[in-house]
């Protein structure tokens, strides 16, 4: 396994793999602090692709001024040790200057999908995500790139970005990985005490209740949202930021649920930590969550 810090070196290594060796490349973009959620993506990349690249970059442009950029967990040594066990070929770990050189001034904005849900609470977040993902895709030109369904809006935005800007990469979205308690695994769970992590399972329970109610025939979006909110708020440590019931493809808000896939997305604070989670409702499909491997 090689750790690459320079964009130019990453590009030329990837070019060689594609052209001279005719092998497929899978990219798993991360901000480090690797956990089971990331590792499920790495496993699938390893299964599907000849060469696996994991990028580790805490992207400054996707954090708001009062968010946790400074405190975001960083431990490249530990991440490298974990990835060695997963037979990863390259870690791309550039500095901020390498990705955003002096006078950087080009940003990517996926309009229409970026302003609601997470975008309403975190202005410019998805502009930062879409920009860095575009840079990573252009640098590496992977055949496949892997993302988690836990960040459902991000996955939708990246699919749209790849389609609109004609990137030659297939986006693979894999199920949310959960703790035994049901809490969706996230790097930010590191901020939580053991008791808070346990309390965090209420979000998944709330989504499961809404799903059950939908299965029993509830089609009023407001009622499902209220059920989720009220259930999360039974845990006094939580403050709900939003619960949204939206069309799973357009993220349009709905009043009455018609016969099409629906996303229920939640964001809630426990102390200063903001957790997100979601579930899909559809007549045909099952929920895309798995328990920790
Ligand atoms: O999901 C993440 O960890 C980040 O948003 C991503 C896709 C690596 C871009 O910085």
Q: How far apart are CA 157 and CA 154, in angstroms?
A: 5
Cα 59 to averaged position of ligand 1 atoms, centre (Å): 8
Specify the pLDDT at position 292. 64
Residues 6+ away with beta carbon under 8 Å from 283:
259
Domains annotated for the chain, with CATH where assigned, are 2-174 (3.40.50.620), 187-281 (3.30.1300.10)
- The residues with which 52 forms a beta bridge, in sequence order, are 26
* Tens digit of each residue's pLDDT (9 = 90 or more) over 96-134: 999 999 999 999 999 999 999 999 999 999 999 999 999
Cα 223 to averaged position of ligand 1 atoms, centre (Å): 32
Judged against a pLDDT cut of 70, whether residue 14 lies above it is answered with yes
Does residue 132 have its Cβ closer than 6 Å to ligand 1? yes
Judged against a pLDDT cut of 80, whether residue 288 lies above it is answered with no
**Closest by CA position to 229, among listed 239, 237, 218, 220:** 239
Judged against a pLDDT cut of 80, whether residue 287 lies above it is answered with no
Q: How much is the mean pLDDT over the chain?
A: 95
Judged against a pLDDT cut of 90, whether residue 282 lies above it is answered with no
Judged against a pLDDT cut of 80, whether residue 290 lies above it is answered with no
Structure-token match 């991360």, residue found:
30
Q: Whose C-alpha lies nearest to ligand 1, atom 3? A: 30
Does residue 131 have its Cβ closer than 6 Å to ligand 1? no
Q: Which atom of ligand 1 is nearest to the CA of 129?
A: 9
* Residues involved in catalysis: 38
Does residue 29 have its Cβ closer than 6 Å to ligand 1? yes
């Amino acid at each position: 396994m090689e750790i690459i810090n320079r964009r130019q070196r990453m590009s030329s290594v990837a070019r060689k793999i594609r052209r001279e060796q005719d092998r497929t490349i899978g990219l798993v973009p991360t901000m480090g602090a690797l956990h089971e959620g990331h590792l499920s993506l790495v496993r699938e990349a390893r299964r599907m692709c000849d060469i696996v690249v994991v990028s580790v970059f805490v992207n400054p442009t996707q954090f708001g001024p009062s968010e946790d950029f400074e405190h975001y967990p960083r431990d490249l040594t530990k991440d490298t040790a974990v990835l060695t066990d997963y037979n990863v070929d390259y870690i791309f770990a550039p500095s901020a200057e390498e990705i955003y050189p002096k006078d950087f001034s080009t940003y990517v904005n996926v309009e229409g999908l970026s302003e609601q849900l997470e975008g309403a609470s975190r202005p410019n977040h998805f502009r930062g995500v879409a920009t860095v993902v575009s840079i990573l895709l252009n640098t590496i030109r992977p055949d496949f790139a892997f993302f988690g369904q836990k960040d459902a809006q991000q996955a939708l935005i990246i699919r749209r970005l790849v389609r609109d800007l004609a990137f030659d990469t297939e986006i693979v979205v894999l199920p949310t990985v959960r703790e035994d308690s049901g809490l969706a695994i996230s790097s930010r769970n590191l901020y939580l005490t053991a008791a808070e992590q346990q309390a965090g399972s209420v979000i998944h329970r709330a989504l499961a209740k809404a799903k059950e109610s939908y299965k029993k025939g509830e089609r009023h979006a407001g009622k499902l949202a209220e059920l989720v909110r009220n259930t999360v708020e039974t845990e006094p440590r939580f403050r709900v930021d939003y619960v949204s019931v939206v069309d799973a493809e357009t993220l349009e808000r709905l009043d009455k649920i018609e016969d099409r896939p629906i996303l229920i997305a939640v964001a809630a604070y426990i102390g200063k930590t903001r957790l997100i989670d979601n579930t899909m409702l559809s007549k045909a499909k099952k929920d895309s969550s798995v328990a920790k491997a």
